[in-house]
Structure 1
């Protein structure tokens, strides 16, 4: 697989032509103007691109098909570019980068480092700064501590306001967006944006599922599992994301902080009630902030700077 140590206008032109895109199409994929792409190509090897643009080009190249890689390598060399030899990254989830335990609610959080990633069903390159996200959804046990500390209204499926021991390690459900936000505020966190959530699930290479591109319903709790309820949040070890995050497909829909329209917010993950195709992380879904159901929960996130300050780093 071809890689580039430093992008110049020569490599930009080679990738655009290898991808068989017009200047306008290529610029849209990168999130820049077509005038900027034309400027890069006109300057050839005399221009040094900004880091964010180099990262976007790296991501676009990494997500390209083998045919595009082959054409790119040939075109780049014909223009005088020397490409370093490098093996393709191994398929499937990669090792987790870094985890910490949040000092307020005690939950493990995974670091998602700053980079461009391929976002949405169109695989648009999007830059996000570093952040941490909960390794597991907020469980009934987690939520019970919040209820005890704040006297917040418990979920309706807890008999007499107390969670049954049999589901303590299941994701909490029957929570509105407001309930989820209240917990996040109490814990010193926030709900993840839909882009943060999606990057945590797909990594930077635009893989379809947390575990790769293979459609494997057995790796998550969707309708096809036949279980008919939520499952413990640590059950699906083979379905973790590149960052070691669980349940980013199936089990419960998860509230995000991203507002889709007034009074409505995005949901991600699919659920035990949903058909497997609805669990694809790039798929859009939203709901009224006041909605609550037996298949809707959440997890929290925090900026890297916030976590470092809390941990005294």
Structure 2
């Protein structure tokens, strides 16, 4: 939780903007005059509200929802690291990986915290969850098809993936196909925000590996591979949580609905220019879309695995 040792005009303005209130609304919220708010903000670091007003500001901040607290932390220059972390460095790659009890797939834990979301790096709180370390592969999808009788992807031969492609991400799956697999495992498709946090970590880096523009770290059009690759191929491109293929290889379906019948896609693909593979970028498609560059991975709440 964001806290303030001693309020100045800087923190007053940050709280008002985090709450997205006008000066009039914020004054009414605190029970002071508009002139008082204007005076505090104009004085910046040189203004110290009286103790009774400091207490009112403390209460206003404490009652904010997590997203508002996150915006306040961002506006005041906080590091956005939870207090119990003590300002520690970014999450270690490969930490907190577990095997899911139903499908046996490796999943990475993404702790509950603020992260910087979207092209504008908007602070956003997400509770803890787990996400598949790799996209669902052909071999893994084949077990689902065998167990349920679900229709096999159109690029398979005689109901089986082509030789040598078992560890490639499954493609030619609609959103409905992906959601059916997720339900079979007791998971769900990740939201667009969950997916992005797992890709970028908490600190707003542009790519999973940092801010360096390095197409060689992922399977995108510029590299000329011309097809999908094994899901563990690009080991230098993993995210801060040790999650693979968050840039390139295949677009990945998310649970987030953008319009009726349409859902968000993340990550770019082997067919995409590197520019389109930025994890914060937006893309969506009709849930019936089925192509050779679109797959998925699954997520699950932390309570489900930790509980």
Fold shared, TM-score > 0.5 on shorter chain: yes
Closer/same/farther in 2, CA of residues 94 and 57 from structure 1, 3 Å limit: farther
The match for 1:113 among 96, 103, 111 is 111
Counterpart residue number, 1:7 = 4
Instruction: Give me the whole-angstrom Cα distance separating, in 2, the residues matched to 1:220 and 1:122.
Output: 23
> CA-atom RMSD, angstroms?
3.0
Q: Is the 8 A contact 1:59 1:116 kept in 2?
A: no
Instruction: Give me the whole-angstrom Cα distance separating, in 2, the residues matched to 1:108 and 1:235.
Output: 16
Q: Is the 8 A contact 1:97 1:243 kept in 2?
A: yes
Paired residue secondary structure (2:134): coil
Instruction: Give me the whole-angstrom Cα distance separating, in 1, the residues matched to 2:55 and 2:211.
Output: 36
The match for 1:143 among 141, 144, 148 is 141
Q: Is the 8 A contact 2:70 2:123 kept in 1?
A: no
Shift of 1:89: 6.4
Counterpart residue number, 2:241 = 243
TM-score (norm. length: structure 2): 0.80
Closer/same/farther in 2, CA of residues 130 and 148 from structure 1, 3 Å limit: same
Q: Is the 8 A contact 2:190 2:254 kept in 1?
A: yes
Closer/same/farther in 2, CA of residues 249 and 9 from structure 1, 3 Å limit: farther
CA deviations on 1:159-191 (whole Å, 9 max, x unpaired) are 111112301111100000000000000010000
Closer/same/farther in 2, CA of residues 301 and 5 from structure 1, 3 Å limit: closer
Q: Is the 8 A contact 1:93 1:211 kept in 2?
A: no
Closer/same/farther in 2, CA of residues 288 and 54 from structure 1, 3 Å limit: closer
The alignment status of 1:188 with 2:199, answered yes or no, reads no
Shift of 1:253: 0.3
Q: Is the 8 A contact 1:6 1:54 kept in 2?
A: no
Q: Is the 8 A contact 2:208 2:247 kept in 1?
A: yes
Q: Is the 8 A contact 1:119 1:195 kept in 2?
A: yes
Paired residue secondary structure (1:165): coil
Q: Counterparts in 2 of 1:80-91, with a 5 A limit?
A: none
Counterpart residue number, 1:267 = 265
The alignment status of 1:159 with 2:157, answered yes or no, reads yes
Q: Is the 8 A contact 2:168 2:230 kept in 1?
A: yes
Q: Which moved more, 1:155-164 or 1:54-63?
A: 54-63
Closer/same/farther in 2, CA of residues 200 and 44 from structure 1, 3 Å limit: same
The match for 1:134 among 117, 123, 132 is 132
TM-score (norm. length: structure 1): 0.79
Counterpart residue number, 2:173 = 175
The alignment status of 1:211 with 2:209, answered yes or no, reads yes
